[in-house]
Structure 1
Amino acid sequence: MQDARFLDRSTPPKIVTLILIAGLSALTMNIFLPSLPGMATYFGVSYGVMQQSVALYLALSAALQIVIGPISDRYGRRKVLLWSLVLFLLATLGTLLATSATVFLVFRMAQAVIAAGMVLSRAVVRDMVADAQAASMIGYVTMGMSLVPMIGPVIGGVLDDLYGWQANFALLLVLGAVVLALTWADLGETAELRNVSLAEQVRTYPALLASRRFWGYTLAAGFASGCFFAYLGGAPYVGDKVFGLSSTHVGALFALTAIGYALGNFLAGRYSVRMGMNRMILIGCVVTSLGLSLLALLTLAGLSGPTTFFGLTVFMGLGNGICLPNANAGILSVRPELAGTASGLGGAILIGGGAALAALAGVLLGPGSSEMPLVLLMLASSAASVVAILFVIRRARQIGA
């Protein structure tokens, strides 16, 4: 494959372009979270209704990822990304013009088309390099990507306090236009296009679904990130209703998790080739589980508070930052010729599980509840990720991989 030249559509993209594409997808997921309680008041609905803007978004993201991968394998990463960005801009404009919670939720779900950025940024990496190098490069890409959502809730909280919730979506509209222009100018096609129909592409799913390693990597990634999605669904409620924090304060505390994630991504990029994917995934899952176990014990002992609750999520971010680049590389390594399909299918399972956990977090956190139900849900999800990667390691030993 040709060397990447910046702003040259005939060559693969520069890493900075992939970072911004994936970063916009991540930012869309979390920039408005500090605004959720205020948005519920604005539209005259309960927090539980407005919290569905997280769960429904994730659910549609999961559904879209089932087809985004095969479509990109057939028609190319470039075309799919460009059209996704155009549709994202239209959906974002709709959220700004919404006059009711129902209309807002419809356009919020439509924003999920930007999931193509997360799926295809990984697939482009896998097109360019192989296996352990892919894990390393994904680690660096997601490390850079995490810098965007790290400050997203901070900016979102400040914008909410100063100008209202609409300012968050106005910013997404501007950033989406910038990323569209950059993608058009810099992202050359990286996929080896295959002249097969979408139906034929979908028929390759059984080859992936029959692989125990594919399921092991997918479940490890799904449960590891599941605790984070539960956190996304429940932490705004905990910050506002349990601890009485402002939108700005909640947004600033969200950055702690992202700091841990950025550090974990750096470690993944630095050590994945040396230590191997499976070992790095296990380390990441254990780090997350230990951090959440400590949080659960402190909460049970009555020692929890905003500093403890949000501070210990640094370990969740650290563990996920180590685990997820390697788990994603593992998902893509099962059938390299189906990288886009594997990324989309694996992402659909991962995000679908995240949507369920985000919705469950909203159900568990009713009026008068403490943070404990959310902490236990996050811990259970993380513990399941440890079991999943141990299964992969056992299977690898059996087949001599």
Structure 2
Amino acid sequence: MDNKKSILLFAVFFIIYEFNVYIANDMIMPGMISVVNEFHSSTDNIAKSLSLYIIGGSTLQIFLGPLCDRFGKRNILLFGNLLFLVASGIIPFATNIGQFLTARYIQGLGLCFIFIGYATIHELFDDKMAVKLCSLVSNISIFAPLIGPVIGSAIIIAANWRYVFIVTAILAIVSLIGLARNMPNSKPSSEIMPFKEILVTYRTIITTRFLLQGAIIIAVICLPMIAWIGLAPVLVLKTLGKSYSDYIIYQSLVFGGFILSSISIQFLAGRFSFYKLITRGTVLSFIGLLIAAIFHMHTWIFIMGMFLASFGIGLYNGSIFRIAITSTGVSNSMSAATLNIVQSASMAASIEIVNKICDHFNYSVASFAIVNLICGIVMLIICFNFAKLVKNRSWQ
């Protein structure tokens, strides 16, 4: 097998792994009402399940960067895939909400290892191709909120929610075998990095302005979409009283914006500077959130506003990631790990805040839309400031 074919197959199986890690959450979301009812639990545990999954996705990050440099990215990613596979097999045996949430946190650890694939891509390709590939790979994972509810709903109707995780385990086996056969391995360091050097490296990374700002910005701009994933089962199925079919349609429309932006960025990357992608994408996403807030009482207009917001976000999140990860001048693995830690922690905390606010207002669409609009205003300010900072730098 030649090198190009092997790299292509690596990308394919990495996509399957990333897709599976995300779809594990999205397949169960339409069934979360059944989960909390079966365990006689409160509704706020629906969003908490997502928060714990995301927190799990940042728990190991600080250790994985040095481990990748020491043992090679391939070995660490394979271990992560195996861990995710084992965790997926635990969840169907949960007998109460505490066990379920704990198992979801463990399963979320699989998210920790996704950055390894991105770091590998950034090492193998130049700015233009790296942005294209990362945008494609990351936005392919957005198919999860589209396909996940469809598959999840079908499984729940035919059997029950526990079988969702059996499907997840099967996909984990496929990605594990594919990555083991095709993933290129970075050359491990011949010496273990001293603990003091690790601390110095992380200090350099965390004090790099562009990385820290980039991580926070990514958390802010993705919050409306992540919050939608966590709260949509309650908003659509309970507050609006819609059916599973309506839930699937709304998910498809909202996240269809990411799909279109993924296609668009393949033509725009290299033709437009990072500054233009960030500013134009920010404006589009803010307009979408504004429309959703103003017309929250009109379901279809609200959904189309969310669609526009997701399209705008998809246009520039890859650019910010590229700028952040290449700004430190040190290990891409450790930089990507730090980026993921900051954005995951910020995102998990923000979801809990949004969940508490919406819970206080009985999960009304108005409360969700207004919180998103406030997030959009913050996004508008910090993204334009970030774009100005990088305008005259080499990232153009």
CA distance 1:400–1:106, change in 2 (3 Å): closer
Aligned-pair distance for 1:12?
Answer: 7.7
191 and 131 in structure 1: CA distance in 2 versus 1, 3 angstrom threshold: farther
Aligned to 2:308, the other structure's residue is in SS state helix
Match of 2:255 among 258, 263, 276: 258
Question: Which digits, 9 at most, give the CA deviation of each residue in 1:127-165, with x for residues without a partner?
Answer: 211323311221222243333442112211222222221
* 117-126 vs 78-87, greater mean Cα deviation: 117-126
Q: Structure 2 matches for 1:2-401, cutoff 5 A? A: 3-6=3-6, 14-190=10-186, 193=189, 195-197=191-193, 199=195, 200-299=197-296, 303-305=297-299, 307-335=300-328, 337-366=330-359, 368-397=362-391
CA contact (8 A) 2:53 2:109 kept: no
Structure 2 SS opposite 1:275:
coil
Say whether the 8 Å CA contact 1:217–1:388 is kept in structure 2.
no
Hey, what's the Cα distance between the residues in 2 that align with 1:19 and 1:37? Answer: 29
Residues 96/160 of structure 1: CA separation in 2 closer, same or farther (3 Å cut):
same
What is the CA–CA distance in structure 2 between the aligned matches of 1:158 and 1:363, rounded to whole Å? Answer: 30
Structure 1 residues 389 and 191 mapped into 2: Cα distance closer, same or farther (>3 Å)? Answer: farther
How has the CA–CA distance of structure 1 residues 334 and 191 changed in structure 2, closer, same or farther, with 3 Å as cutoff? farther
Distance 2:329 2:152 in 1: 38
Over aligned residue pairs, what C-alpha RMSD do you find?
2.3
Aligned-pair identity in percent equals: 19
* Secondary structure, aligned partner of 1:47: coil
Distance 1:68 1:29 in 2: 23
How does the TM-score come out when normalised to structure 2? 0.91
Size of the aligned set, in residue pairs, is 392
SS of residue matched to 1:245:
coil
Q: CA shift at 1:362, angstroms?
A: 2.2
Further displaced range: 76-85 or 271-280? 271-280
CA distance in 1: counterparts of 2:201 and 2:106, whole angstroms? 27
Paired residues of 1:89 and 1:177 also in contact (CA < 8 A): yes
Distance 1:130 1:195 in 2: 28
CA contact 1:284–1:319 (8 Å) conserved in 2: yes
CA-CA distance at 1:84 after TM superposition: 0.9
Offset, 1:198: 7.0
- Whether the aligned pair in 2 keeps the contact of 1:220 and 1:389 (CA below 8 Å) is yes
The code of the aligned residue for 1:287 comes to: L
1:197-253 superposed Cα distances (whole Å, 9 cap, x missing partner)? 373334312212222222232222121112212222222110122111233432342
Q: Kindly tell me: are residues 179 and 162 of structure 1, through their superposed partners in 2, closer, same or farther at Cα, counting changes over 3 Å?
A: same
Per-residue CA deviations over 1:138-196 (Å, capped at 9, x if unaligned) read 12222433334421122112222222211211111111111111111111214664634
Q: Deviations over 1:23-67 (max 9, x none)?
A: 122212322111111111011101112431111111221222333
Distance in 2, matches of 1:268 and 1:383, equals: 24
Q: Which ranges in structure 1 are unaligned for 5 or more consecutive residues?
A: none
Distance 2:394 2:41 in 1: 56
Work out the CA distance in 1 between the residues paired with 2:387 and 2:344.
23
Which amino acid is 1:35 matched to?
G
Q: Secondary structure at the match of 2:41?
A: coil
Distance in 1, Cα, partners of 2:374 & 2:324: 23
CA distance in 1, matches of 2:227, 2:96: 26
CA separation in 1, counterparts of 2:51 and 2:334?
A: 23
Q: CA deviation at 1:125?
A: 0.7
CA distance in 2, matches of 1:314, 1:194: 49
What amino acid is the match of 1:395?
L
CA distance 1:248–1:99, shift in 2 (3 Å): farther
- Shift, 1:357, TM fit: 2.2
Q: Give, in whole Å, the separation in 2 of the partners of 1:207 and 1:5.
A: 37
Alpha-carbon separation, structure 1, partners of 2:301 and 2:160: 29
Closer, same or farther: CA 384–359 of 1 in aligned 2, 3 Å: same
**Structure 2 residues not aligned, in runs of 5+:** none
